[in-house]
């Protein structure tokens, strides 16, 4: 599949009855940082973008697979959804600064009666505001099978919006789990693994010149963040499995090398983060990239994202619990979004639309000091007063 136009990004998302979100929306720039308490829907927000990616996956993808991989529509539909409006809807705009809604895509789906699968109630694809392809299930359409496939996944009919299909296919989600990266069996698996199981495979399959250039830059970053670190290279074992080897200084003149099997969790997560930034892909979804990292390292992550974006124009969407992340210099109020939990589900509010946050920042508060208290559970200070468990 060809690469998407590098300038494209998500400019808006609207969710209806999607997991935590009865109704929520957000306008997005090149970077977006979503904060909120546990179980507010940060992972589920990223999953809406992953759902679009799954719709167009050439192997193991498609509408039915995407819904069933999430345990069916009953697990997807917001608990607060009621009555006639119990459908699920994802509505996104894709474009750039000049044309924020170059493409628009909306999919609405539900489950009718005793049909075995969820079906598409309506799917609308627009180019510059004009519908170029539409499918809509009517009340008299008793054959559900035609509505188990999206327009996106039908290669014979998606030629007029192939750029949008390619853009969705370029979405990349990353939440590195060090134990999975260390598992040698994962590096030979053909499946894409959002938890880092395919990281070594992706590195090894990269053109050698490009790979060495990227690893050199990653090594420079690690030499600052990781004590005694001096070198990073890729090697293969006797069975052909790829391994990262890191060199560390010690009392001998030559460094001692260790494989990823003994890297610290923070080192593996930082390598995964830096490698993903270097790839020429579409939107990058990062879930809590601060895990296992020192706060001073975390403060530098947004700056690394920014420098990468100057060359690649790659959109980066982040969920985080970290004050240090939000406190990073250069993050704007319009780049931070707060997930607010209420009786009718979670809503999304931009920092720039919250008057209290704006006034506090103008009054000298740091962005983290103004934003993060709104992302904490209510009465959290009472937790320490709970009796012995």
- The answer to the question of residue 21 being in a domain is yes
For 231-287, the pLDDT digits (tens) are: 999 999 888 899 999 999 988 888 899 999 999 999 999 999 999 999 988 999 999
Q: What is the pLDDT of residue 272?
A: 95
Residue 2 reports pLDDT greater than 70: no
If you average pLDDT over residues 361-368, what whole number do you get?
A: 95
Sign, CA torsion 315/320/322/323: positive
Maximum mean pLDDT: which of 33-37, 255-259, 325-329: 33-37
Q: What is the pLDDT of residue 286?
A: 97
The verdict on 276 and 289 lying in the same domain is: no
If you average pLDDT over residues 77-82, what whole number do you get?
A: 87
Residue 190 reports pLDDT greater than 90: no
For 151-174, the pLDDT digits (tens) are: 999 888 889 999 999 999 999 999
Contact between residue 157 and residue 135 where contact means Cβ atoms under 8 Å apart: no
Q: What is the pLDDT of residue 58?
A: 83
The verdict on 213 and 323 lying in the same domain is: no
- CA separation for the pair 347, 114 (Å, rounded): 32
The verdict on 148 and 69 lying in the same domain is: yes
Where in the sequence is the domain holding 257, given as residue range(s)?
197-280
Q: What is the pLDDT of residue 20?
A: 94
- CA separation for the pair 171, 282 (Å, rounded): 5
- The answer to the question of residue 183 being in a domain is no
- The answer to the question of residue 190 being in a domain is no
Residue 187 reports pLDDT greater than 80: no
- The answer to the question of residue 181 being in a domain is no
User: Of 237, 260, 280, which residue sits at a domain end?
Assistant: 280
Q: Which of 45, 19, 14, 9 is nearest to 287 (CA)?
A: 45
Q: What is the pLDDT of residue 291?
A: 95
The verdict on 267 and 133 lying in the same domain is: no
Contact between residue 51 and residue 354 where contact means Cβ atoms under 8 Å apart: no
- The answer to the question of residue 359 being in a domain is yes
User: Of 280, 299, 319, which residue sits at a domain end?
Assistant: 280
- CA separation for the pair 202, 187 (Å, rounded): 9
Angle, CA 166 vertex, CA 164 and CA 169 arms, to 5° = 110
- The answer to the question of residue 204 being in a domain is yes
User: Of 224, 256, 280, which residue sits at a domain end?
Assistant: 280
Residue 340 reports pLDDT greater than 90: yes
Q: What is the pLDDT of residue 83?
A: 67
The verdict on 327 and 265 lying in the same domain is: no
- Strand ranges across the sheet with 242-248: 229-236, 242-248, 256-259
The verdict on 57 and 126 lying in the same domain is: yes
Residue 389 reports pLDDT greater than 70: no
Q: What is the pLDDT of residue 370?
A: 95
- Structurally, the chain folds into a number of domains equal to 2
- CA separation for the pair 162, 2 (Å, rounded): 9
- CA separation for the pair 138, 150 (Å, rounded): 16
For 278-316, the pLDDT digits (tens) are: 998 899 999 999 999 999 999 999 999 998 887 778 999
- The answer to the question of residue 227 being in a domain is yes
- CA separation for the pair 282, 4 (Å, rounded): 7
The verdict on 343 and 297 lying in the same domain is: yes
The verdict on 39 and 151 lying in the same domain is: yes
pLDDT category at 189 given cuts 50, 70, 90 is: confident
- The answer to the question of residue 182 being in a domain is no
Q: Which DSSP category does 299 fall into?
A: T
Residue 227 reports pLDDT greater than 60: yes
Q: Which of 69, 75, 15, 66 is nearest to 347 (CA)?
A: 15
- Give the residues across from 246 on adjacent strands: 232, 258
For 10-24, the pLDDT digits (tens) are: 999 999 999 999 999
Assigned token pair, 207:
């053109």
Task: Using only the alpha carbons of the chain, give its radius of gyration.
Answer: 22
Q: Which of 247, 275, 278 is nearest to 263 (CA)?
A: 247
Q: Which of 233, 285, 262, 223 is nearest to 34 (CA)?
A: 285
Q: What is the pLDDT of residue 81?
A: 85
Strands (E), the chain: 9-18, 21-27, 31-35, 88-95, 103-110, 119-127, 130-136, 172-174, 229-236, 242-248, 256-259, 284-287, 316-320, 336-342, 345-350
CATH number at residue 73: 3.40.50
- What Å distances lie between residue 118 and 21, 171, 351, CA to CA? 19, 24, 36
If you average pLDDT over residues 144-151, what whole number do you get?
A: 92
Q: What is the pLDDT of residue 84?
A: 62
- pTM for the model stands at 0.92
Q: What is the pLDDT of residue 308?
A: 84
What is the DSSP track for 135-179?
EE--TT----GGGGS-STT-TTT-GGGHHHHHHHHT-EEE---HH
The verdict on 33 and 150 lying in the same domain is: yes
The verdict on 64 and 40 lying in the same domain is: yes
The verdict on 271 and 297 lying in the same domain is: no
For 203-215, the pLDDT digits (tens) are: 999 999 999 999 9
Percent above pLDDT 90 for the chain: 73
Q: What is the pLDDT of residue 35?
A: 97
- Compare 308 and 366 and report the one with higher pLDDT: 366
Residue 100 reports pLDDT greater than 90: yes
The verdict on 21 and 116 lying in the same domain is: yes
Q: What is the pLDDT of residue 142?
A: 85
Contact between residue 76 and residue 67 where contact means Cβ atoms under 8 Å apart: yes
- CA separation for the pair 30, 7 (Å, rounded): 10
Q: Which of 356, 349, 351, 279 is nearest to 311 (CA)?
A: 279
């Amino acid at each position: 599949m060809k690469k998407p136009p590098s300038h494209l990004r998500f400019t808006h998302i609207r969710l209806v009855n999607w997991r935590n979100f009865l109704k929520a929306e957000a306008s997005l720039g090149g970077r977006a940082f979503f904060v909120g308490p546990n179980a507010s829907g940060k992972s589920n927000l990223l999953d809406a973008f992953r759902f679009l990616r799954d719709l167009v996956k050439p192997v193991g993808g498609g509408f039915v697979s995407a819904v069933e991989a999430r345990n069916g529509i009953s697990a997807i539909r917001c608990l607060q959804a009621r009555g006639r409006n119990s459908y699920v809807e994802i509505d996104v705009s894709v474009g750039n600064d000049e044309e924020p809604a170059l493409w628009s895509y909306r999919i609405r789906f539900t489950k009718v009666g005793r049909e075995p699968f969820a079906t598409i109630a309506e799917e609308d694809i627009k180019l510059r505001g004009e519908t170029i392809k539409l499918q809509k299930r009517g009340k008299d359409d008793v054959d559900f099978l035609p509505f188990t496939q999206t327009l996106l996944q039908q290669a014979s009919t998606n030629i007029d919006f192939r750029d949008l299909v390619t853009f969705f296919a370029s979405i990349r989600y990353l939440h590195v789990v060090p134990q999975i990266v260390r598992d040698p069996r994962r590096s030979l698996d053909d499946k894409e693994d959002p938890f880092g199981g395919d990281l070594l495979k992706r590195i090894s399959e990269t053109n050698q010149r490009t790979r060495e250039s990227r690893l050199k830059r990653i090594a420079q970053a690690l030499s600052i963040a990781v004590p005694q670190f001096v070198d990073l290279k890729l090697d293969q074992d006797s069975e052909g499995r790829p391994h990262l080897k890191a060199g560390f200084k010690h009392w001998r003149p030559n460094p001692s090398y260790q494989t990823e099997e003994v890297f610290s969790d923070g080192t593996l997560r930082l390598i995964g983060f830096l490698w993903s930034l270097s790839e020429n892909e579409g939107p990058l979804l990062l879930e809590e990239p601060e895990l296992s990292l020192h706060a001073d390292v975390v403060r530098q992550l947004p700056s690394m994202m920014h420098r990468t974006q100057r060359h690649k124009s790659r959109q980066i969407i982040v969920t985080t619990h970290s004050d240090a992340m939000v406190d990073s210099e250069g993050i704007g109020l319009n780049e931070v979004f707060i997930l607010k939990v209420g009786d009718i589900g979670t809503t999304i509010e931009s920092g720039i639309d919250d008057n209290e946050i704006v006034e506090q920042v103008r009054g000298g508060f740091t962005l983290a000091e103004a934003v993060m208290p709104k992302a904490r559970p209510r009465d959290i200070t009472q937790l320490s007063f709970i009796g012995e468990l």
